[in-house]
Structure 1
């Protein structure tokens, strides 16, 4: 195993923490910054931070960018517009933990698509790991009581998050299925640019429809944009692309099972949404599942 590949199992445990910060940002931003403006600011800043490092590669590989522009636009729409602005829309009326729980369904879809479309193989241990991790997520959703299944209520925000989860599944599978002549960092920058092309008209429309009473963006809004660009933006997306290359789409997708655990802890610290005992039991099921799926 090369030095780069040895980092993959460690990153699999770190990336969910970076990723889950976006669910907290979605909740914090609901009274501070409109969703599309936040997503546009996030990805504009992320692209600006990346260009000094990948701009030369993009210029040298401009023929590949021209050849792949349709795919880059689709990936940008799925990963940066829908999985960006729509998550922030959902954060207006659902909790950070709910966002993480809905997203935690996507590893099953990604794993199935990885087997059917990408011809990835899943061992018996990995299939058992999916079942174990899913059981942990379900335990958290039901709060340890099967009767809570009948009491589940969905909000409009949950609908936005569900659509974003489906979009993330498509993004993950297509990112792996569509081969690219671009290196991972340059490809991510090009995908971000594609996402911004789709985000900008919706951002302009959103800004035009804002009520006059909406406060103008201030320092809090700027802080959220910077945080979103760095942590769940450049760092998590770059690491996710790297993990897909090293571990495959199916195994990498398992990191989303950790999101409810990380999100519950972050929501407790930042938003005061205290976790319950069911989160601990769920984590006790999810964590061994991740280890079982990623061990050599």
Structure 2
């Protein structure tokens, strides 16, 4: 391997440790937002700012592919709804009544849902190892949501926030699967720009509705800071590093960074937000993380002729 390639490989491996930390920032922003900024305004500001930046970078390619965009514009609206509205505003809504650790643990099961979707929808095969992973991960998610109260499952009090996050996790799986189902001539950055624009358009009327309600929170300086942080750090920063590292190391090696998310989020929730960690978090993590590993299998597992790996970044 040439020296330059080795250098880039080392840089990519080092930056992979940073990606889950960048995504964890979004969970902290979500927990800081209640009482400061509404969930739809925060999501609209985050992805609107990201869309503006990406539009400046990719405007030439987007204009060149305008015929394609005009033909399948609805696909970008659907992807924007799933990836930016539901996985954005609904996460911020859920964070009002659940903790950052719960968000990270529930979200960490998204690759498992993507794997199931690939089997049921895209016709890919699920082996014994992957089946075991699905069972482990789903068990872990339920354990976190019910706070370990399996013996009293029928009468357990579900947190509304947990249910918002479960919905967002399912939405992220659909977002990832549809990106594979709907191929695009756009490059990765230009496609993300088009999806961001679609998501911003979907979020606009919802943001206007939110701001017009009685008792709506006005945009403050602190709220603007949260928007900028959410747009730059877990948005543009994490997405760009993930995509760059994937080109160098390959999708399967980069996907391993997903396993660090709950660990980083737990430490951040405890150290920054002062959230207590319970045994149900530890048990949930012990079930979810091996489950995700078995399903993704570091490049092994779901197979289909001529299939490509499904992108499974975090929120």
Bin the TM-score by the shorter chain: 0.7 to 0.9
Of 290, 295, 298, the match for 1:294: 298
Structure 1 residue 48, shift from structure 2 partner = 2.1
| Secondary structure, counterpart of 2:218 in structure 1 | coil
Instruction: State the partner residue of 1:162.
Output: 166
Distance 1:117 1:190, change over 3 A: same
With the length of structure 1 as denominator, give the TM-score of the two structures.
Answer: 0.80
Q: Does the CA-based 8 Å contact 1:35-1:85 persist in structure 2? A: yes
Of 55, 69, 75, the match for 2:79: 75
Distance 1:181 1:6, change over 3 A: farther
Instruction: State the partner residue of 1:116.
Output: 120
Distance 1:109 1:229, change over 3 A: same
Moved more, 217-226 or 4-13: 4-13
Distance 1:63 1:132, change over 3 A: same
Whether 2:47 is the aligned partner of 1:43: answer yes
Task: After TM superposition, list the pairs within 5 Å mapping 1:272-291 onto structure 2.
Answer: 272-276=274-278, 279=281, 283=285
Structure 1 residue 203, shift from structure 2 partner = 0.6
Hey, what's the Cα distance between the residues in 2 that align with 1:239 and 1:130?
28
Whether 2:215 is the aligned partner of 1:174: answer no
Hey, what's the Cα distance between the residues in 1 that align with 2:7 and 2:248?
11
Instruction: State the partner residue of 1:267.
Output: 269
Distance 1:228 1:210, change over 3 A: farther
Hey, what's the Cα distance between the residues in 2 that align with 1:3 and 1:121?
37
Hey, what's the Cα distance between the residues in 2 that align with 1:177 and 1:4?
31
**If each structure's helix is expressed as a fraction of its own residues, which one has the higher value?**
1
Structure 1 residue 15, shift from structure 2 partner = 3.6
Hey, what's the Cα distance between the residues in 1 that align with 2:121 and 2:6?
27
Task: After TM superposition, list the pairs within 5 Å mapping 1:99-138 onto structure 2.
Answer: 99-121=103-125, 125-130=129-134
Instruction: State the partner residue of 1:29.
Output: 33
Hey, what's the Cα distance between the residues in 2 that align with 1:253 and 1:242?
13
With the length of structure 2 as denominator, give the TM-score of the two structures.
Answer: 0.76
Moved more, 100-109 or 137-146: 137-146
* CA distances 1:39-64 after superposition (whole Å, capped 9, x unpaired): 11101111122223212221222222
RMSD: 3.8
Instruction: State the partner residue of 2:59.
Output: 55
Of 217, 229, 234, the match for 2:231: 229
Q: Does the CA-based 8 Å contact 1:89-1:157 persist in structure 2? A: yes
Instruction: State the partner residue of 1:190.
Output: 194
Unaligned runs of 5+ in 2: 301-315
Q: Does the CA-based 8 Å contact 1:17-1:262 persist in structure 2? A: yes
Structure 1 residue 133, shift from structure 2 partner = 5.3
Report the count of equivalent residues.
294
Structure 1 residue 223, shift from structure 2 partner = 1.3
Distance 1:131 1:239, change over 3 A: farther
